[in-house]
Each structure stands twice: as C-alpha cells, then as structure tokens.
Chains A and B, each alone.
Chain A
Amino acid sequence: DAGVTQSPTHLIKTRGQQVTLRCSPKSGHDTVSWYQQALGQGPQFIFQYYEEEERQRGNFPDRFSGHQFPNYSSELNVNALLLGDSALYLCASSPGVRQETQYFGPGTRLLVL
C-alpha cells in the first residue's frame, strides 16, 4: 500500500513565477492538508481539502491556492513567488474530517531565487 506521495521532490523557481505541487493521498484517505515548513521551523498549516472543497485555511495569502480532484489527489499552487516562499511543502492525508492520524508525504523542497 503506497503512502502519501508528492511530486516533484525538488524545484527551483525565480521570483514572480508560479509553481504547482502535487500530492496523492494514502489509499482510503479522502482529506488532504498542506503545510509549509521553513528552514529550522515547524510545519505551518496552509489549508485542507475535503470533497473537492477548501474546508479550512491557515494564515496564508491568496497567492496560495489549491485544488482537490475526484480521486482525492490535490495540487498546491503558489503565484507571484517570493524569496520567503522557499520551504519544504508537506502534504498530509487522513480519512474524513474529524481528527485522526495524518500521514505525511516526503515533501517538495522549493527554492525561490
């Protein structure tokens, strides 16, 4: 059984560009959450998707948007990249919307130059 997978593993972009990160949840999971982990810090919640809708959002600007597909996979889009967007982006999946164990993927490391 494959766990949470994310692509790409690494990405380099320049300021002002746009980026799309992808996540496939663990089998049987229908909820996907995205987190940003800056260097030396703990992950910060960006948003959560369930039933193809954004259910919750953390303190991130509208430049950060997402999407969930009918097969429960998800994308994170970041527009107008800033240097400060450089981070490890983690995807986590879980079953349903109530608190259960979240399983994290290996992350996508984004470097903005």
Chain B
Amino acid sequence: AQSVTQPDIHITVSEGASLELRCNYSYGATPYLFWYVQSPGQGLQLLLKYFSGDTLVQGIKGFEAEFKRSQSSFNLRKPSVHWSDAAEYFCAVGPSNDYKLSFGAGTTVTVRA
C-alpha cells in the first residue's frame, strides 16, 4: 500500500526566508510524486511532479523538490518566500499505471512580514 507522511503540520516563516517542507512516502516501486498547493477555499494546484530522470525537479512559483530514493523523501523547497505563498501544501504519491493518488495530511505555511 502507498502512503505519504508530512511530519510538519504547521510552519511559520518570515517573508524572504527560505522554506523547506518535508515529505516521506511508502511505496513498493518507483513512485510518481507530486506537490500540490491549496489556497483557502480553493482547489489544488500542481506545483511540480517527479516521474523519472533528474531527481531535482523545478516547478512553478520558484519551487523545487528533490527525490531521494534512499530516504524515501521528496522535500519541497523555496529559496525566498513571498507573502502569497501562505497556503496549505500537499505531497502525493501515485503508481505509474493509474491515477489513484494518496495524499499526505498537508502542511500549513504561514508567512509573517
């Protein structure tokens, strides 16, 4: 069975500071990995995805993530956070042959001025 753990429920970061959100997954084969962002009252927007190849993945809004197979991790990073990055972030894992995604419980990011 596939599962995702996001250890941090809530992170507060100052505007302009760096951000790292942790994601650990459990999956029997090479997973497809995703990061989504959800603003209040909104649906999910895809930030980036990893299917194969280069383990450092670039996404939208200046985000990047690194796949580390040995650590079963797919952590999300941003060098300099903007106030508009305040939102909830979800890591998800899925198999290659269907669309059933398993999501983590999410990490809420608060940005202080």
Contact = CB atoms under 8 A, between A and B. Distances in A.
Are both chains from one complex? yes
Interface of A: 4, 31, 33, 35, 40-45, 48, 55-56, 58, 90, 92, 94, 97-107
Interface in B69-113: 90, 92, 94-106
Contact of B96 (A40, A45, A98, A105): A98
Interface size class of B (residues with CB under 8 A): 20 to 34
B99 A33 contact: yes
B55 interface: no
Contacts of A90: 43-44
B99 A99 contact: yes
Interface centre among B101, B102, B104, B106 (most CB of A within 10 A): B101
A94 B104 CA distance: 21
Given A41-B105, A42-B105, A107 B98 contact: no
Interface of B: 4, 32, 34, 36, 42-46, 49, 51, 90, 92, 94-106
4 closest A-B pairs (Cβ-Cβ)? A42-B103, A104-B44, A104-B43, A106-B43
Given A56-B98, A94-B99, 10 more contacts: A35-B101, A42-B105, A45-B100, A48-B99, A56-B100, A90-B44, A97-B97, A99-B98, A99-B99, A101-B34
Nearest to A94: B99
A48 B98 CA distance: 9
A38 B104 CA distance: 13
Contact of A102 (B51, B95, B99): B99
Contacts of B49: 101
Given A103-B46, A106-B43, A42 B106 contact: yes
Nearest to A96: B99
A99 B99 CA distance: 5
B32 A42 contact: no
A52 to B, nearest CB: 16
Contacts of B42: 106-107
B84 to A, nearest CB: 18
B32 A44 contact: no
